[in-house]
Structure 1
Amino acid sequence: MRRILTTGLALTGLAAGGLIAATPAHAAVFQTYGTGVNVRSDAYLSSPVVRTLPGPTSIDVDCQKAGDLVTVSGGSSRWWAHVPALGGYVSVAYVAIPEDKLPGVPECGGNPNPPSGDITLADVQAMFGSRIANPSLVNTGLPSLNQAMRDANINTPYRKAAFLATLVHESRLEYNIREIGDTRPYGGRGYIQLTGDFNYRPAGQYFGIDLLGNPELARSLQWSAPIARWYWTVARNINPFADQLNMGKVNAAIGYPAGAEDQRRCDSFKNAIRYLTGSVPAGVVCTRSKAYAGDTSKLTRAQFDALGKTGGGLG
């Protein structure tokens, strides 16, 4: 439990496993609790893990940064402690103090706001209106989703519009959604509605987690956005289709047969572009060629890429 250890213990400077050396003059010393606490490269749950603390550890903190909310049995915090000796950030939720923010520790750079250019709740509500059915839940997931977009180079209006339009139709931008009525072990979960063992297995292998054994991880706050990023850039290579304003290919890459849904998603794409740029450019493609008309969901990336080269159908 987080609150069991006192601040006095946190300031004793005891090191676990020799991870921390002498305390820099500008740093404050705190104690973590629990085992398997991740140190991440940034203050977001989707940021890479740079190391894992095996047990309670004394950490030298030089600043703290606002990021993703982390909730554990002992409390919650959106603040992350920067630990230079470990090369990353530890959630304050795992620091043995009664507060949710480290006392006496300055904010990193003096700016706790998320990076510029991030998508906000007001943005997606303006783009998609009533499709944002649970604003509070959407807002909770946005920090991790924005990080995933940065990681995936979804950094232009066209790419953002295609990605968000896709997710608002897949999941209403709710990170923890489960496909209604789908009782399959590997049915749709999360932002991208990850489906099928042929996706759960490679996604889990990519992130080093057992998605086949723990499919519910696919709709957790920690993994839902990274998995959407994985599908967008690893299972498929979708950014170029967005650059081409080709929502027909985007929809084919997501994996369902051509039909009326294509136009609905394309309309959402246009709405997002209009909001982000002020107008809808000429040349938006909403339909698919014959090669992409079928259900492409079970194709490997190589097989999907081959469709565009051969011009053939799905067999």
Structure 2
Amino acid sequence: MRVPTIRRLGAALLALAGITAAGVIAATPAQAAVFSTYGTGVNVRADAYLSSAVVRTLPGPTSIDVDCQKLGDRVTVSGGSSSWWAHVPALGGYVTVAYVSIPEDKLPGVPECGGNPNPGPDITLANVQAMFGSRIANPRLVEEGLPSLNRAMRDANINTPYRKAAFLATLVHESRLEYNIREIGDTRLYGGRGYIQLTGDFNYGPAGRYFGIDLLGNPELARSLQWSAPIARWYWTVARNINPMADALHMGRVNAAIGYPAGTEDLRRCDSFKSAIRVLTGSVPGGIICTRPSKLSGDTSKLTSTEFDRLAGTPTSKG
């Protein structure tokens, strides 16, 4: 469901009247398209991700001049949801389309910012079997989860061979690509569950708040078909910023970001990364880094995103 008609109408009337929450609408650049937000307290962020810095907050319905839009974090509100974000040059950032008064999930007639990479075809069971062989121990279950996993990859901008290879290689070692797996022998209340093997109240709590579900009260949701893939996407893009590590072919940093001590498992995962790239592109590029920076050799699972980024030397903004 998208934005209710009454909200769209109210915001549209404000725009037609030439009024915003801050006053009269400024002159519109010729190349921009004009839309209106609805609601109060809508954040303008530095990039199209919920973890990006808030550059300002709109106190009420506001007319915005949009020059382009980009895919980012999916935002769900009472009126609907969208993974698209409107770039508003005059405000110095991005506004989620979920708070733009239109019936669509994507702004009509607005170009994508710089163009977005074509995500290519969805990953299939045959793909992952070719990549990982006997690690795909339950093909029926893997195939059942692939539609939700492919959707999560699109929402997370896991849309290049390197990003797909890093993500899939990670999950096949975490969960054998089985959405409902529970870590064997782990009886802890917040033990490993799901595609990404979500672990610890320090992850269950933030992931639940992000999606508006009570993961602390019902941790089994983390291995449900509905939530396992979105939670993996949340960890990949919000709890950590892993896509840039995959872009750099730095599987060592990817492994550190997942949160376990360095060891021979790093090399096994790196081999799976190479195998996945070979299936997706036909060859394995040079320059793949399988080892971690020394500062990340320990157990990194409990580090905050900011702490991890400082040690890893990676940017804090998502993209």
Question: What is the one-letter code of the residue matched to 2:121?
Answer: G
2:128 matched to which residue of 1? 124
Of 128, 138, 146 in structure 2, the residue corresponding to residue 142 of structure 1 is 146
Pairing of 1:1-315 with structure 2 (within 5 A): 117-309=121-313
Q: Secondary structure at the match of 1:268?
A: helix
SS at match of 2:130: helix
Instruction: Report if aligned partners of 2:215, 2:222 keep a CA contact under 8 Å in 1.
Output: yes
Q: Say which SS state the counterpart of residue 193 (structure 1) adopts.
A: coil
Aligned residue type for 2:196? I
- Encode CA deviations 1:80-132: one digit per residue, 9 max, x unaligned: xxxxx9879xxxxxxxxxxxxxxxxxxxxxxxxxx951100000000000000
Contact 2:252–2:266 (CA under 8 A) maintained in structure 1: yes
How large is the Cα RMSD of the aligned pairs? 2.4
Q: Which consecutive unaligned segments of at least 5 residues does structure 1 have? A: 1-17, 20-46, 53-84, 89-114, 311-315
Once the two structures are TM-superposed, the CA of residue 49 in structure 1 deviates from its matched residue by 5.6
User: 4+ runs of 1 displaced by more than 3 Å?
Assistant: 47-52, 85-88
In the TM superposition, residue 289 of structure 1 has moved relative to its aligned partner by: 1.6
User: Does the Cα contact within 8 Å between 1:178 and 1:193 map onto a contact in 2?
Assistant: yes
* SS at 2:283 equivalent: coil
Q: Could you tell me how far apart the structure 2 residues matched to 1:309 and 1:240 are? A: 11
Q: Secondary structure at the match of 1:266?
A: helix
The CA distance in 2 between the partners of 1:169 and 1:144, in whole Å, is 19
Letter in 2 for 1:137: L
AA aligned to 1:269 is F
Moved more, 286-295 or 201-210: 286-295
Partner of 1:59: none
Q: Deviations over 1:114-161 (max 9, x none)?
A: x95110000000000000000000000000000000000000000000
Q: Give the conservation status (yes or no) of the 8 Å contact 2:120–2:159.
A: no
- Does the Cα contact within 8 Å between 1:258 and 1:293 map onto a contact in 2? yes
Structure 1 residues 185 and 281, CA, compared in 2 at 3 Å: closer, same or farther? same
Q: Secondary structure at the match of 1:160?
A: helix
CA distance in 2, matches of 1:207, 1:302: 21
Provide, for residues 154-193 of structure 1, a one-character-per-residue CA deviation record: whole Å limited to 9, x for no partner: 0000000000000000000000000000000000000000
Alpha-carbon deviations, 1:6-56, whole Å to 9, x = none?
xxxxxxxxxxxx99xxxxxxxxxxxxxxxxxxxxxxxxxxx876659xxxx
* Residues 135 and 259 (structure 1), Cα distance of their counterparts in 2 relative to 1, 3 Å cut: same
| Contact 1:51/1:86 (8 A) holds in 2 | no
8 Å contact kept, 1:190–1:224:
yes
**Aligned partner of residue 292 in structure 2, secondary structure:** coil
- 1: distance between equivalents of 2:209 and 2:233? 14
C-alpha contact (below 8 Å) 1:50/1:87 kept by paired residues: no
Percent identity over paired residues: 79
- Could you tell me how far apart the structure 2 residues matched to 1:140 and 1:87 are? 29
The number of equivalent residue pairs is 211
Which residue type is aligned with residue 221 of structure 1?
A: L
Flag the structure with larger Rg. Answer: 1
5+ long unaligned stretches in structure 2: 7-73, 80-101, 106-118, 315-319
Amino acid at match of 2:292: R
